[in-house]
Amino acid sequence: MSGAGQNGKPSREAESEETAVERQSTIQSNTDTKPRNRFNLFHKQNPEPEDDDKPKKRPWYKGKDLKHKPYTLRNQLQATIFNSWINILLLAAPVGIALNYAGIDGKVVFVVNFIAIIPLAGMLSFATEEIALHVGESLGGLLNASFGNAVELIVAIIALTKDEVIVVQTSLIGSILSNLLLVMGMCFFFGGLRRTEQFFNVTVAQTAASLLALAVGSVIIPTCFDKFSTTPQTSIAGLSRGTAVILLVVYIGYLYFQLKTHSDMFNEESKKVAKKPRKNSLAPGAISKSLVQAGGLGAGAGRPNLPERPPNDELVRTTAHEDDDEELEEPQLHIAVAWATLAGATAIIGLCAEFMVDGISSITASGAISVEFVGLILLPIVGNAAEHATAVTVAVKDKMDLAIGVAVGSSMQVSLFLIPLLVVIGWIMGKEDMTMSFDGFQVAVLFVSILLVNYLIGDGKSHWLEGMLLQCLYLIIAVCAWYYPTKECSATLTTNCIQTSGNNGTAAV
């Protein structure tokens, strides 16, 4: 039997050994190719050579070559109305206008018009950007700087005409807080979940921090002058108007600094960071080590020829090239369509904002919600919802300079342009109570917020914990605004003020 086993067919032991070796070699070859394929993602592949003889197709219209696709009714409607799922809320605009004229409860009118302004604000911002692409970089930057917070300006002017000065002041402070704490906090948090750190332009961040410090100082000084002095209201109004003119000059100088003299500094690209591997991904060499232990092979014979992991700086560089899809942006709308969209959105926002402001008294009359909560928390959501979503989206893609520009830039625009502009408008309208003197609670939360933001953006980098800190501070302010008492003063007796708590409707004289 033993001789037959040697001279005849091979034994079962020999067959099993040969099968095991073949299986291990097959697995080994697979482990050679899979890591290579995985690491090929970090390297930019060479594109296929183009045939120079083949003519390239260019869009044309009426026999002329165009740099963009020809404008048609279909693509214009698609770009303005059907470009985002949030535009389905545009149906709330005619409904809100109809409810107001039908005499429905003010709370319902407020909610419906509140919802309607959200997509209209996004459409207005889109039209502004399209016009900026047509008119050039300098005029486009000036146009974006002027219409960047158009919704807040429209709501504030309408509230000012209705003598709702508290709504005007709280909505402006709330817009600054929303951009600095909520938006930038979400950008830092969601952008830093898959990255150790994210980087942005340090010089731009420090310039923004200095301007924000000036902005909060311009609010603190008139407020302290009003609270701790016995000067009449006319002196406070004169002080506020002088301060407002100075801030407008500072804002014009900042625009000239950003768009002309130091535009290259604002266009510098920041460092990009590769995403961290997921938790379920295997460590380098884990497959080869398991094969060595399972097959009993030697370390030299069983180790597959795996490529070495590229260094971190190479990963940063190659990932930056992969994510760098910034091409020359082309306008999607004809300039006439863009101007018509801007005018139409502005007109409808004006109607909806007027009806929404009229409904604020219906919501705050019962004492369930305070005016401060409506101004600090609710109204800023209206004008910045679409812009907030854009900032968070680009932060996840590691485009932090753009995200910081949206959050901090919008805050600077409100503090250095909208607030002093509304003081000047109130001066023209004869509103003596529209001054730079704000409520003490609003000034305190603004000071703390800008102080924290200046600490966090000073080093030019961020991570998810900093984002959580900003969001938590915003939640603390929201809770305080919910319980903050509202002062309702009689028109005949200014000393007879009723303080109404925002949570339970209790009143105390």
Please report whether residue 40 resides in a domain: no
Q: Which domain holds residue 87?
A: 69-276+330-484
| Dist CA 342 CA 125 (whole Å) | 8
CATH number at residue 344: 1.20.1420.30
* Beta strand spans in 384-472 (E): 461-462
| Dist CA 437 CA 77 (whole Å) | 45
Lookup result for tokens 């002017």? 157
Q: Within the chain, which residues score under 70 in pLDDT?
A: 1-69, 137-138, 141-142, 145, 233-234, 267-329, 486-509
- Residues, the chain: 509
pLDDT at 24: 55
Please report whether residue 232 resides in a domain: yes
pLDDT at 205: 82
Sign of CA dihedral 471, 472, 474, 475: positive
Other residues' Cβ atoms within 10 Å of the Cβ of residue 67: 9
Please report whether residue 63 resides in a domain: no
Please report whether residue 39 resides in a domain: no
pLDDT at 230: 76
pLDDT at 296: 46
Please report whether residue 361 resides in a domain: yes
Please report whether residue 314 resides in a domain: no
Q: Are 222 and 437 in contact (CB under 8 A)?
A: yes
DSSP 41: G
pLDDT at 312: 43
Q: CA separation (Å) from 158 to 16, 44, 51, 237? A: 87, 54, 61, 20
SS3 341: helix
pLDDT at 500: 47
Q: CA separation (Å) from 168 to 29, 139, 379, 445? A: 69, 29, 10, 17
Please report whether residue 494 resides in a domain: no
Please report whether residue 460 resides in a domain: yes
What is the count of structural domains for the chain?
1
SS3 398: coil
CA atoms within 13 A on the CB side of 369: 15
Q: Are 154 and 350 in contact (CB under 8 A)?
A: yes
| Dist CA 106 CA 346 (whole Å) | 23
* Predicted confidence (pLDDT) per residue in 233-246, tens digit: 668 888 899 999 99
Instruction: Break the chain down into helix, strand, coil percent, rounded to 5.
Output: 70, 5, 25
* Predicted confidence (pLDDT) per residue in 171-187, tens digit: 999 999 999 999 999 99
